[in-house]
């Protein structure tokens, strides 16, 4: 079922079924992949999205045509590069959510950082779903991704790196449940970056989005090592397989 605002329905994934209006009304429904815009609430810039109660909104059915809409209202195939990037960052946030549960069970204080990163990934999704080729100024103001989260990641990386022993060999994803889950997040993050880079090169999204994902993969790698150290778990070292060891 779909909420509908101003005659325009949204898929449950937040994409539009129909076109965006010429102007962005104050009651525009941002959708599930744009909660960062919705969360802006009263502080949102003029013409930007604000939350709308789903309970009060009429319902409609999804189209099932294999197409979806960007925040700008442009219809694209669901396997378009934009939706590939949006979907992969959503997958990354889900992976981080799983890792966060394991981390929280161990009482690690950096669990709050992971939740903050999930919020930043919602902002990333909003920026990606606003391709510049079809965006108006109001769209770009709503979905701008600033450099602040990048600088924060760099500070966190420096803090944890200073407490870790230097790397002298390649390590395998290991070091306990928390560490292994964070390594998995790192791998998903690297894939998300690969999906985003072409959009940056095409001028469809801000370079800050790719920079954020680049720093995030470094952060997740560093945090995986830090979690293993704090939990007293040994990291497994890569060793080249020796053919003579085969039975």
How would you write 5-61 as a 3-class SS string? Answer: ECCEEECCCCCEECCCCCCCCCCCCCCCCCHHHHHHHHHCCCCCCCCCCCCCCCEEC
Residue 198 has pLDDT above 80, yes or no: yes
pLDDT at 243: 80
Residue 50 has pLDDT above 50, yes or no: no
Tell me the average pLDDT across 119-127.
95
CATH 3.30.420.40 is the classification of domain 78-238: no
Q: What is the mean pLDDT of the chain?
A: 81
| Cβ-based neighbour number of residue 10 at 10 Å | 27
Q: Residues 177-188: what's their mean pLDDT?
A: 98
pLDDT number for residue 121: 97
Write down the pTM of the prediction.
0.77
d(CA 114, CA 110): 7
pLDDT-derived band of residue 5, with 50, 70 and 90 as boundaries?
very low
What is the model's pLDDT at position 7?
35
| Local structure of 174: helix, strand or coil | coil
| pLDDT for 136 | 85
Q: Closest Cα partner for 186 from 227, 221, 210?
A: 221
Torsion of CA 177, 179, 180, 182, to 10 degrees: 120
User: How far are the Cα atoms of 108, 160, 185, 227, 235 from residue 230, in angstroms, in the given order?
Assistant: 9, 11, 19, 5, 12
Radius of gyration of the chain (CA): 20
Q: What's residue 227's pLDDT?
A: 98
pLDDT on residue 9: 38
């Amino acid at each position: 079922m779909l909420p509908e605002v101003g005659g325009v329905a949204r898929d449950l994934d937040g994409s539009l079924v129909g076109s965006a209006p010429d102007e962005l009304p104050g009651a525009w429904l941002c959708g599930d992949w744009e909660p960062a815009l919705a969360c802006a609430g009263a502080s949102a810039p003029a013409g930007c999205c604000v939350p709308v109660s789903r309970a009060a909104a009429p319902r409609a059915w999804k189209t099932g045509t294999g197409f979806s809409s960007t925040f700008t209202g442009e219809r694209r195939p669901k396997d378009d590069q934009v939706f590939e990037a949006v979907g992969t960052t959503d997958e990354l946030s889900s992976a981080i959510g799983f890792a966060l549960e394991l981390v929280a069970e161990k009482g690690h204080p950096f669990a709050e950082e992971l939740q903050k990163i999930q919020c930043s990934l919602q902002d990333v999704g909003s920026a990606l779903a606003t391709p510049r080729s079809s965006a108006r100024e109001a769209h770009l103001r709503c979905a701008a991704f600033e450099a602040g989260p990048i600088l924060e990641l760099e500070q966190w990386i420096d803090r944890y790196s200073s407490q870790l022993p230097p790397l002298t060999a390649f390590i395998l994803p290991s070091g306990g449940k928390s560490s292994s889950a964070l390594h998995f997040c790192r791998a998903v993050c690297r894939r998300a970056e690969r999906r985003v880079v072409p959009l940056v090169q095409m001028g469809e999204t801000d370079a800050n989005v790719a920079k954020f994902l680049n720093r995030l993969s470094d952060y997740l790698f560093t945090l995986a090592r830090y979690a293993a150290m704090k939990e007293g778990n040994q990291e497994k070292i890569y060793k080249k397989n020796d053919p003579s060891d085969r039975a």
